[in-house]
Amino acid sequence: MREPVSQLGQWMIAGEVRWRKNQQVRVLLTALRLIFPLVLVGTLADLVNRSWLEPTGYYYQTLHVTTWLLRRTRLQQGVLLLQTGALGLAVLGMAFVVSYLLVARVTAASSDRLMAGGIAVLGLQVLNVNPATVQVGRSPEWLAMNLGLTGLAVGAVVGLLIGNLYRWSVLHWSQPGDTLERPLTLGTLGLLLVAAGGLIWLLRAPFSLQTGFSAWLRAPLNLADGWGQLAVFSVLNGALNWLGVLSPVPTTPEQSVMAAQNLAAVLTTGNWHLPHPLTVQTVSQPYANMGGTGMTLGLLVAILLVTQNTAQRRIGWLSVLPVMGNVNAPLLVGLPVILSPVLLVPLIVAPLACLSLSSLCLGLHWVPASAYPFAVGTPGPLISFLGTGGAWSALGLALVNLALSTVIYYPFVKWAAIAERQVHEEASANATL
């Protein structure tokens, strides 16, 4: 027997179902599910490297890795190779699969599908060449393998662009039989178009795509000293995650200076009256980003509480280790949260609610502000405890925030599961007609 759903829930479920019927959205969601294993393996390798094998890692410091792990440097090289290969292949796969599936919807010819996917991969390769390395007598540096999780959105955009152009060409060019005339012609034209676009990019772009995008992401942090600025930054990061830009919270020199001034104030005066009480380090990271951007540790707990949906729980259990290390990419890709209208709401609201509650508690001096830097991979609820030198009130607030975010996510997780079930039921019904 199905649980009753509120009017708001019914409205959101209906909107989610309509959204998923869009052909472009269906293709993107299918591509996300196909690259999920690569994202999971790549993020796990990244987490192992940064938290276990790097001196700044939480487990490296707490478990004294150097005293018992042999050949750490060689092991780290292998982990880095796995991380770079898996995440780089995920970016390439996103571009290839999106373009391939768009063309597959209008033709059964495998030659056309493969040609569209190949052109998308080449277009991604051209975009991600570092312009500074394009010199006579020197091999250019291709940066696609270094884009990491940020590159998934780039791969999706390239796949949509190439796939829709190729799809339009197929619809306007019919050919008898399974000949190679059309794919060869369209492939040649596509390669020329990609080459022309790449030439324009190289002539006009003074920096690589990754460098420019990272600089744009850091811009909002220049003003992130106060609740309003932190709220804007939180909303922006949540929206970018929803669009597939799965990058960690960036830092700026200004943020580093404020963190250093806060730490210096604690060390020299012995009290917790910080010069910058509302910053990313003091509020956002310890209280509103547990599990990653969007307070996704609360999402994970909500998923495990929704026992009716086996697929969601499977993705949740697979994502436990990365999310506990504040890496939420497998969870966002696997559900997926990306491009889900239902899950966009708690992805924005949950961190804002935690940010507001934490700012209020700091303003009332109920908890001290976090001043000590935390090691990479520190479990989310412990960041505030360690950052305040072991204040139990900070740990209590972190647990309250986790409970609050879980309550916010819980109904939306149920509605997303219902929408997913309705989409599958409609697809099955249409397939039997």
Q: Mind listing the pLDDT tens digit for each residue in 115-144?
A: 999 999 888 887 777 666 666 666 666 665
- Residues above pLDDT 90, as percent of the chain: 34
Taking the C-alpha atoms of residue 228 and residue 278, their distance in angstroms, rounded to an integer, is 10
Taking the C-alpha atoms of residue 262 and residue 393, their distance in angstroms, rounded to an integer, is 19
Torsion angle of C-alpha atoms 46, 49, 50, 53, degrees rounded to 10:
170
pTM for this structure?
A: 0.88
* Token output for 204: 């006009």
Model confidence over 339-389: pLDDT tens digits?
999 999 999 999 999 999 999 998 888 998 888 888 888 998 899 898 888
More confident residue, 432 or 392: 392
- The mean pLDDT value for 95-121 works out to 90
Same domain? For 350 and 383 the reply is yes
Which segments of 172-292 does DSSP mark as H helices, in order?
181-204, 209-218, 227-242, 253-269, 285-287
Does residue 2 form part of some domain? no
Average pLDDT in the chain: 83
Same domain? For 119 and 182 the reply is yes
Model confidence over 237-281: pLDDT tens digits?
898 899 988 876 556 667 667 777 777 777 787 677 777 778 887
pLDDT attached to residue 306: 76
Same domain? For 191 and 298 the reply is no
Does residue 389 form part of some domain? yes
Region of 179 on the Ramachandran plot (φ > 0 left; ψ -120 to 50 alpha; else beta): beta
Does residue 376 form part of some domain? yes
pLDDT attached to residue 257: 76
Does residue 54 form part of some domain? yes
Confidence of residue 147 (pLDDT cuts 50, 70, 90): low
Same domain? For 161 and 305 the reply is no
Taking the C-alpha atoms of residue 336 and residue 151, their distance in angstroms, rounded to an integer, is 17
pLDDT attached to residue 1: 47
Same domain? For 405 and 288 the reply is yes
Rg for the chain, CA atoms, rounded: 24
Same domain? For 382 and 280 the reply is yes
pLDDT attached to residue 345: 95
Same domain? For 240 and 370 the reply is yes
Is the predicted pLDDT of residue 227 greater than 70, yes or no?
Answer: yes
Same domain? For 293 and 405 the reply is yes
pLDDT attached to residue 317: 92
Same domain? For 185 and 282 the reply is no
Same domain? For 186 and 231 the reply is no
pLDDT attached to residue 225: 59
Same domain? For 418 and 391 the reply is yes
Domain end: 158, 185, 206, which one? 206
Amino acid in the structure at residue 229? Q
Does residue 7 form part of some domain? no
Confidence of residue 99 (pLDDT cuts 50, 70, 90): very high
Domain end: 206, 234, 268, which one? 206
Model confidence over 16-50: pLDDT tens digits?
999 998 999 999 999 999 999 999 999 999 999 99
pLDDT attached to residue 260: 74
* Token output for 82: 């796995």
> Could you tell me which of 337, 341, 352 has the C-alpha nearest to residue 302?
337
Does residue 355 form part of some domain? yes
Does residue 129 form part of some domain? yes
Q: How many domains does the chain have?
A: 2
Does residue 336 form part of some domain? yes
Same domain? For 177 and 246 the reply is no
Is the predicted pLDDT of residue 214 greater than 50, yes or no?
Answer: yes
Taking the C-alpha atoms of residue 378 and residue 395, their distance in angstroms, rounded to an integer, is 13
DSSP helix/strand/coil, 244: coil
| Angle, helix 72-104 to helix 110-127, in steps of 10 degrees | 130
Domain end: 186, 206, 226, which one? 206
Model confidence over 61-94: pLDDT tens digits?
888 888 888 888 888 899 988 988 898 889 999 9
Which range of residues forms the domain containing residue 129? 12-206
